[in-house]
Structure 1
Amino acid sequence: MRNLLTTTVFWLHFFVVAFWIGLLFIPEFILPGKTAFHFYLTLGIIGHQFLWGAVIYPWTKQYRMVCTLTTFMQLLRGHPLSTVDNYGHSWTKEFIKRLGWGIPERGATVLTLAIFVISTFQFFFFR
Structure 2
Amino acid sequence: MRIKLFLADALFWLHFLVGSIWLGLFLVPSSVWHDKITFHFYLTIAIVGHQFLWGLILMLYTRKFRMVCILTTPMQVLRGEKISDPKNYDHSFFKELVGKNGIKIPHLASTLITFSALSLAIYQYLFLR
Specify if TM > 0.5: yes
Contact kept, 8 Å, 1:89 with 1:108, in 2: the verdict is no
Cα distance in 2 between the residues matched to 1:90 and 1:116: 17
**TM-aligned CA deviation for residue 100 of structure 1:** 2.3
| Structure 1 residue ranges without an equivalent (≥5) | none
* Alignment length (residue pairs): 127
Match of 1:41 in 2: 43
Q: Percent identity?
A: 43
| Structure 2 residue ranges without an equivalent (≥5) | none
- Cα distance per residue 1:11-49 (max 9 Å; x no partner): 000000000000011111111100000000000001101
**TM-aligned CA deviation for residue 105 of structure 1:** 2.0
Match of 1:3 in 2: 5
1:71 maps to a residue whose letter is T
2:88 maps to a residue whose letter is N
Contact kept, 8 Å, 2:37 with 2:121, in 1: the verdict is yes
Moved over 2 A (4+): none
1:71-90 matched pairs, under 5 angstroms: 71-90=73-92
Q: CA RMSD in A?
A: 0.9
1:24-35 matched pairs, under 5 angstroms: 24-35=26-37
Match of 2:53 in 1: 51
Cα distance in 1 between the residues matched to 2:88 and 2:69: 9
Q: TM-score, normalised by structure 2?
A: 0.94
Match of 1:91 in 2: 93
2:16 maps to a residue whose letter is F
**TM-aligned CA deviation for residue 98 of structure 1:** 1.2
Point out the more displaced range, 84-93 or 68-77: 84-93
Contact kept, 8 Å, 2:22 with 2:40, in 1: the verdict is yes
